[in-house]
Amino acid sequence: MGREFVPLFDQWSNNYDLTVTGHNEQYQEVFEDYEKILHSVVSEVHGTILEFGVGTGNLTEKLVAAGHKVYGVEPSRGMIQQIQRRKINFQLFEGDFLDFPPLTEPIDAIVSTYAFHHLTDAEKEQAISIYAKLLQPHGKIVFADTIFQNQDSRRQIEEEVASQGYSGLLTDLRTEYYTTIEVLHPILSKHGFRTNFSRLNKYVWLMSAQKEIG
């Protein structure tokens, strides 16, 4: 579920890493400080980690290098082919945020970068309720993604993107399911998480949510 954008990633998989390193002008600000953003996720977690939307494996590689055991989930065949070439020591499953194989091991943290916006807000809540049950007591969800503070800041950023003439980025912002902190924060509280949001660049926020109940 939430797989309507997967064909785009099958096409993009060959040159995705050129975009994250700033070779696509429209997306330069979205991926500004990409390496630091990945490190900020790594620095928030420990133990056994479940990662969604692994893509070409840039975050996965850092998590494994930091000594964590990683289970990864990815729906795009193209991306799966890219990550398999890297020979990273982790277990990869074909799946998505909502539909993935049962895990036999306790999970300390669930992470993802640049991917949660592929779910509608209703699907995001469904995912968070699944993760609340799956995580260990005091386990964490740590996601970095494009999020708007509220509808006013969404409008302001869309106007700026339109004035920059970035029509591809504007279409992306208007067609994928980018949400707001105003929407996400109450959903996380309802499912027992204490959450901090911190801004990492013009578009990307770090969402660090810790489970308060057992």
Ligand X SMILES: C[S@@+](CC[C@H](N)C(=O)[O-])C[C@H]1O[C@@H](n2cnc3c(N)ncnc32)[C@H](O)[C@@H]1O
CA 91 to chain CA mean position, Å:
18
Among residues 97, 131, 143, 148, which is the contact residue for ligand X, using CB under 6 A?
A: 97
Of the chain, the end-to-end C-alpha distance in Å amounts to 28
Structure tokens at 40: 């900020």
How far apart CA 55 and CA 90 sit, in angstroms, is 14
Q: What residues from 4 to 23 belong to the interface with ligand X (CB under 6 A)?
A: 5-6, 9, 20
- Helical ranges in 119-196 per DSSP H: 121-134, 151-164, 167-175, 181-190
Does position 55 interact with ligand X (CB under 6 A)? The reply is yes
Tokens 């969604």 belong to: 52
**Could you tell me how many residues of this chain bind ligand X (CB under 6 A)?**
22
Among residues 113, 146, 179, 210, which is the contact residue for ligand X, using CB under 6 A?
A: 113
Query: Is there a contact between 193 and 162 (Cβ–Cβ < 8 Å)?
Result: no
92 vs 115 by CB, closer to ligand X: 115
How far apart CA 84 and CA 119 sit, in angstroms, is 25
Does position 58 interact with ligand X (CB under 6 A)? The reply is yes
Binding-residue pattern over the window 61 to 80 for ligand X, x denoting contact by CB under 6 A = -------------xxx--x-
For ligand X, which residue has the nearest CB?
55
Residues lying near ligand X in the complex (CB under 6 A) are found at: 2-3, 5-6, 9, 20, 52-55, 58-59, 74-76, 79, 96-97, 113-115, 118
